[in-house]
């Protein structure tokens, strides 16, 4: 059990699995160093480099020289996010573990305080996820993809209490220490979200934190959108059926009443682009029927999602 959210005895560690994130790692580290720490004690910020071959490691080392709270663990070979997450879970010694993607922006200097507070104020909470805000690229394809993402947000956020695996993207998540210690993602999985979500659901411990917000760039080109389709629609993972029972993949499905509700909201907010987004999603569903099964946990990198964040122009 954590102490109250206004008690600085709560220790917090931030872990960032990273592979070739030279465009963004400096920005997210700056965001973290600027966070208000009145309600927790920041123990360390650790970047787990998955055998990065660009300037990621050098940038983190420069930050370490300026702020010893930042540390770097370098993997000798690329093993993928699931391997690094298991490594992070095993290594954590703080009350709260926050795991962040490297290619995001944190909104405000109380982001960590709010995300950690979602656990500190709720004894039953095992994990809390941040609210994700997509940004719109200037090119036409980027605008269509953005509309598709926004429509999907209206759908997934229509689920009562936000309690659905489709509201867990893994880009910014706080874990209670006792829960993180019990997590061991099966290494043969190609996607970790459902395993973690169902583990949290075993004790009704999943929480969505609307007040902790992050920014991210959606893909903005058709080839990268196709790459992302391969990520999202990989093969069925029968190992989850062995752990959680038959039909575990059905947890990915959002009931039609929430889909319709979200589509109506999308038409209201973006009447021009919503039809294009619907057509794009239909194209995506047909594409996945022809997409080769993805067997590797190593994802293709999308360069258009790695753009830095200019907060003065965005916010």
Separation of first and last alpha carbons in the chain: 36
pLDDT tens, the chain, 315 aa long: 464 444 557 999 999 999 999 999 999 999 999 999 988 999 999 999 999 999 999 999 999 999 999 999 999 999 999 999 999 999 999 999 999 999 999 999 999 999 999 999 999 999 999 999 999 988 888 898 899 999 999 999 999 999 999 999 999 999 999 999 999 999 989 889 999 999 999 999 999 999 999 999 988 777 777 666 655 544 578 899 999 999 999 999 999 999 999 999 999 999 999 999 898 878 776 665 555 555 666 766 777 777 877 654 554
Number of CB atoms found within 10 A of residue 77's CB: 7
CA distance 308 to 271: 29
- The residues facing 42 across adjacent strands are 12
Identify the pLDDT of residue 6. Answer: 47
CA distance 14 to 35: 12
Identify the pLDDT of residue 296. Answer: 66
Task: Give all strands of the β-sheet with 11-18 in edge-to-edge order.
Answer: 70-74, 41-49, 11-18, 96-100, 172-176, 127-134, 206-216, 105-106
How far is CA 298 from each of CA 40, 83, 154, 200, 238, rounded to the nearest angstrom? 34, 10, 29, 25, 19
Buried-exposed string 95-126: b where 16+ CB fall within 10 A, e elsewhere? bbbbbbbbbbbbbbebbbbbbbbbbbeeeebb
pTM of structure: 0.91
* All domains in the chain, ordered by first residue: 11-295 (3.90.550.10)
Q: Phi and psi at residue 73, in whole multiples of 5°?
A: -120, 120
CA distance 38 to 191: 35
**Contact of 107 with 217, CB cutoff 8 Å:** no
312 CB burial (10 A radius; 0-12, 13-18, 19+): exposed
133 CB burial (10 A radius; 0-12, 13-18, 19+): middle
How far is CA 238 from each of CA 41, 149, 245, rounded to the nearest angstrom? 41, 28, 10
Sorted by sequence, the CB contacts under 8 Å of residue 99 that are 6+ apart come out as: 14, 15, 16, 17, 85, 88, 170, 172, 173, 175
Within the chain, what is the greatest distance between any pair of CA atoms? Answer: 53
The owner of tokens 């997210």 is 28
- Helix (H) / strand (E) element for 282: namely helix 273-290
Sorted by sequence, the CB contacts under 8 Å of residue 142 that are 6+ apart come out as: 136, 218, 220, 221, 304
Alpha-carbon radius of gyration of the chain: 19
**Contact of 190 with 295, CB cutoff 8 Å:** yes
């Amino acid at each position: 059990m954590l102490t109250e959210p206004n008690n600085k005895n709560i220790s917090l560690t931030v872990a960032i699995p990273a592979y070739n994130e030279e465009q963004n790692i400096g920005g997210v580290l700056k965001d973290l160093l600027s966070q208000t720490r009145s309600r927790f004690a920041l123990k360390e910020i650790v970047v787990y480099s998955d055998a990065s071959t660009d300037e990621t490691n050098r940038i983190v080392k420069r930050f370490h020289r300026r702020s010893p709270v930042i540390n770097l663990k370098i993997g000798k070979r690329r093993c993928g996010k699931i391997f690094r997450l298991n490594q992070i879970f095993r290594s954590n010694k703080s009350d709260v573990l926050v795991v962040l993607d490297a290619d995001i922006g944190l909104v405000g200097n109380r982001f960590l305080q709010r995300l950690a507070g979602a656990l500190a104020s709720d004894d039953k909470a095992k994990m809390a996820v941040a609210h994700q805000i997509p940004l719109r690229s200037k090119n036409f394809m980027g605008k269509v993809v953005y509309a598709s993402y926004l429509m999907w947000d209206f759908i997934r956020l229509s689920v009562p209490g936000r309690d659905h695996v489709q509201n867990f993207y893994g880009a910014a998540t706080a874990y209670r220490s006792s829960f993180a210690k019990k997590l061991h993602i099966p290494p043969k999985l190609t996607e970790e979200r459902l395993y973690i979500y169902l583990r949290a659901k075993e004790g009704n411990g999943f929480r969505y934190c609307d007040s902790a917000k992050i920014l991210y760039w959606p893909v903005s080109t058709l080839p990268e959108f196709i790459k992302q389709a391969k990520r999202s629609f990989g093969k069925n993972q029968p190992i989850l059926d062995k752990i959680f029972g038959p039909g575990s993949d059905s947890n990915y499905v959002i009931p039609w009443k929430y889909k319709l509700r979200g589509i109506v909201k999308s038409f209201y907010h973006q009447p021009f682009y919503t039809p294009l987004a619907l057509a794009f999603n239909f194209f995506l569903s047909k594409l996945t029927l022809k997409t080769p099964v993805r067997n590797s946990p190593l994802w293709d990198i999308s360069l258009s999602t790695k753009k830095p964040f200019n907060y003065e122009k965005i916010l």
